């Protein structure tokens, strides 16, 4: 199973010289199971735009040439905050004949994900409606206790504490590998005791890679204690408590520069005490192949 990051930022996209190495796009990750054509996309943040370019093989050296192929993909959306859905209107494959996107996300009170997507993607917010796109798009609500399957991949869904609406986490298992995606996670107020909700541990248990919210320092968290996120120390606590093999720090705060993320990674590595095999700070273009001995294959674009 290969995991590639296209958007690693939380809350709001950023650009500029302070963000060139880790990238400024919001949450979007591609998972490709070995031996299957299937593509699974985690969240639809602004990283979806470069993901589309990547799938098209866009080559700026060749005057922007691209290979316009339709896409069949399963999309797993954690929740409906802007930083997790804003890329959809700008995803080239969504407006392409022959594409099929099966989008899963948190069930809404009126049972209608369709109505929610139509609300944010229609005039006056965007010139065309979601149903005007040329791809075949289906939307499916999840309550958080489902198990889905997709061409050799088992997808377990769990509820994750956050703020402002039902939020999901996903565990993907393929052949002998597993990856868990928890993009936004409200730490409990007693997080420094090491407490992790049992449901979170169950979703993450023994996974090969945990991709986890790492938005705040302790000081930042104390100022934004109920904003729906956690400290990068808590990301390590969750990984250790659930016996994860490796951890990717994710959902970087828009106020954290590349140099600050370097320091965050160094401080988490120091606190690891050899428990986890690998710890990464996720960056745009980073690929992790869980079936390879040495995990980082490439920074691919
Ligand atoms: Zn978010
Ligand atoms: Zn959120």
Of 188, 181, 229, nearest to 208 by C-alpha is 181
| End-to-end alpha carbon distance in the chain | 19
Rg of the chain taking only CA atoms, in angstroms: 18
Ligand nearest 106 Cα, by number? Answer: 2
| pLDDT for residue 9 | 98
Rounded distance between C-alpha atoms, residue 30 and residue 73, angstroms: 10
**Per residue of the chain (301 residues), what is the pLDDT tens digit?**
999 999 999 999 999 999 999 999 999 999 999 888 889 999 999 999 999 999 999 888 788 888 899 999 999 999 999 999 999 999 999 999 999 999 999 998 876 787 788 888 999 999 998 889 999 999 999 999 999 998 889 999 999 999 999 999 999 998 789 999 999 999 999 999 999 999 999 999 999 999 999 999 999 999 999 999 999 999 999 999 999 999 999 999 999 999 999 999 999 999 999 999 999 999 999 999 998 855 554 554 4
Burial (CB < 10 A; 0-12, 13-18, 19+), residue 84, is buried
In the chain, the number of structural domains is 1
C-alpha of residue 23 to centroid of ligand 2, in Å: 19
Rounded distance between C-alpha atoms, residue 59 and residue 66, angstroms: 6
Ligand nearest 227 Cα, by number? Answer: 2
CATH of the domain at 230: 3.60.15.10
C-alpha of residue 60 to centroid of ligand 1, in Å: 30
**In 10 A of CB 107, how many CB atoms?**
17
CA distances from 119 to 85, 103, 112, 127 (A): 12, 16, 11, 12
C-alpha of residue 48 to centroid of ligand 2, in Å: 17
Residue 259 sits in which domain range? 2-299
CA distances from 27 to 127, 184, 247 (A): 24, 10, 16
C-alpha of residue 157 to centroid of ligand 2, in Å: 17
Burial (CB < 10 A; 0-12, 13-18, 19+), residue 266, is exposed
**In 10 A of CB 224, how many CB atoms?**
13
Rounded distance between C-alpha atoms, residue 16 and residue 45, angstroms: 18
């Amino acid at each position: 199973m290969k995991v590639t990051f296209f958007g690693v930022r939380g809350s709001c996209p950023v650009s500029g010289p302070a963000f060139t190495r880790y990238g400024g796009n919001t949450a979007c990750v591609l998972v490709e199971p070995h031996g299957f054509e299937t593509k699974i996309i985690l969240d639809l943040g602004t990283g979806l735009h470069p993901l589309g370019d990547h799938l098209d093989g866009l080559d700026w050296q060749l005057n922007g040439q691209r290979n316009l192929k339709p896409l069949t993909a399963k999309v797993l959306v954690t929740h409906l905050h802007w930083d997790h859905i804003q890329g959809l209107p700008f995803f080239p494959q969504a407006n392409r004949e022959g594409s099929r996107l099966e989008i899963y996300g948190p069930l809404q009170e009126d049972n209608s994900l369709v109505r929610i997507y139509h609300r944010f993607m229609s005039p006056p917010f965007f010139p065309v409606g979601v149903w005007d796109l040329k791809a075949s798009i289906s939307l499916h609500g999840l309550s958080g206790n489902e198990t889905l399957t997709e061409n050799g991949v088992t997808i377990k869904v769990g509820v994750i504490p956050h703020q402002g609406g039902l939020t999901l986490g996903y565990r993907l298992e393929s052949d002998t590998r597993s990856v868990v995606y928890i993009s936004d996670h409200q730490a409990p107020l007693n997080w420094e005791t090491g407490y992790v909700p049992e449901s979170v541990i169950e979703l993450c248990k023994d996974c090969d890679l945990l991709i986890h919210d790492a938005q705040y320092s302790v000081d930042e968290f104390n100022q934004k204690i109920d904003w729906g996120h956690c400290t990068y120390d808590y990301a390590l606590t969750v990984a250790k408590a659930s016996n994860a093999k490796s951890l990717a720090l994710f959902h970087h705060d828009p106020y954290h520069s590349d140099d600050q993320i370097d320091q965050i990674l160094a401080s988490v590595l120091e606190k690891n005490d050899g428990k986890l095999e690998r710890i990464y700070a996720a960056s745009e273009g980073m690929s992790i192949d869980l079936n390879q001995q040495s995990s980082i294959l490439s920074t691919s674009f």
